[in-house]
Amino acid sequence: MIICCGESLIDMISIANAGNESVFAGLTGGAIFNTSIALGRLDVSVGLISGVSTDLFGKKITKDLTDSNVNIKLLIRNEKPTTLAFVDVKDGQANYTFYDENSAGNSIHYSDFPNIPKIATTLCFGGISLCTEPAASAYEKLFIQEIKNKVLFLDPNIRSTFISDEISYRKRLNKMISSSDILKVSDEDLDWIVTSGSNINKKIEKLHNLGAKLIIVTKGAEGVAAYVKNKKVINLPAQEVNVIDTVGAGDTFNAGFLAKLSNLKLLSKSNVKNLSSKHISMALEYGIKAASITVSRKGANPPLLSEI
């Protein structure tokens, strides 16, 4: 079982109504939520740990999770409002404005977390849930708690405009990177995390020296690269598709990558530490294929297993 730990929210996406006027449609989303949905649709056993409101939007979130085969028993329910993310898509690229203060997701504490099931092999962290307190510190403590027990997958999915305390955030991120089994970053994330120099190999070397083991860098239309210390870089091209928008693309890639490793029964601390280039390539290919379907349609709408 894979457990996704982090935000669930409502993406307010601009669409044209019958009068060709721009209106906002509320769709369930959030980086960690999207990854859990994508895993569930790929028939992988998955659960979500997230603060979810009992309001109208929270009910929609729980329904969509259930409809996509995500275990909701680990959700932390409360009466505070659901986070809203207004999404502006230009030329296929999404820009976000978040309304998250005192939200159901952001207000959780470490003591609110349920016990992690023994059958869980992997915990997935990232997104805006690592940006603001008290939730950020709570997820950090959960991550540290499971360092010796579970495969730890980290995708910062950085939204710099949402970070209120950059010093604390960078400190938290570096601590989590140092103990991550799999670190996935976009090329833009990488430039934000490692600000010095322009050479990607030097940046990757710094993250390896920090402690990150397997590092995956997604580069949009230029494909994906995987780095293991002292081993040859694995580069794979992106699939050529008609891109509608990129909402949820990285989250779907993460799900595809983890789904393939799960199907190969490789999601354990020892196996992930010794992944072969062949198995890494197989997982990258599966992630790319899943993400290519998501970007070919509007919003974060990951594919079903039958579509892959």
Q: Name all domains of the chain by residue range, CATH numbers in brackets.
A: 2-307 (3.40.1190.20)
Q: What percent of the chain is helix, strand and coil (3-state, nearest 5)?
A: 40, 25, 35
Q: Are strands 122-126 and 93-99 parallel, antiparallel or unpaired?
A: unpaired
300 with 247: CB under 8 angstroms? yes
* In contact, 2 and 76? CB cutoff 8 Å: no
C-alpha dist (Å) from residue 174 to 166, 189, 212, 280, 301: 12, 13, 10, 24, 31
Model pLDDT for residues 26-63, shown as the tens digit of each residue = 889 999 999 999 999 999 999 999 999 999 999 999 99
The token pair that represents 265 in the structure block: 């029964």
Could you give the CA distance from residue 228 to residue 215 in angstroms, rounded to a whole number? 7
The pTM for the full model equals 0.94
Q: How far is CA 118 from CA 112, 218, 271, in A?
A: 18, 31, 18
pLDDT band at 6 (very low <50, low <70, confident <90, very high): very high
Summarize pLDDT for 177-216 with one digit per residue, the tens: 999 999 999 999 999 999 987 789 999 999 999 999 999 9
